[in-house]
Amino acid sequence: MMNPYLQVAIGGAIGSVARYGVYRALPGHGFALATFLVNVSGSLVMGLLAAMMAQRGGQAWTPFVMTGILGGYTTFSAFSLDALALWERGQVAQMGLYVAGSVLLSLGAVFLGITIGRGFFA
């Protein structure tokens, strides 16, 4: 198996490019839609893969997929910057919706992913 640091580096590059693709496809319109969708979809995939790896093994792929690809794809640093930008523009209600929605939907997505994955990969 490949060196785990190299796995994370290659996976991170893949995830970062995928995130950039989402940003290019969904430019901001006052609400940080791209970051929102990246964090929620990444959480769903994280849950699915966590369930699959728990049921079927594959922990050797964790550095590449979980830390690398999904770590590069999802981004709470961009989330924080987007939330602050909404606040600074005086869009406090949108910021609250964005923060609450991102956190709650991402938690729900990872739960859904694990639930689906446990049933699918059992």
Question: What whole-number distance in Å separates Cα of residue 107 and Cα of residue 47?
Answer: 9
Q: What is the pTM of this model?
A: 0.78
Query: Among 110, 115, 121, which residue's Cα sits nearest to residue 47?
Result: 110
When the pLDDT of each residue in the chain is averaged and rounded to a whole number, the result is 91
The pLDDT assigned to 121 comes to: 87
What is the per-residue pLDDT across 2-29, written as a single tens digit (0 to 9) for each?
899 999 999 999 999 999 999 999 876 6
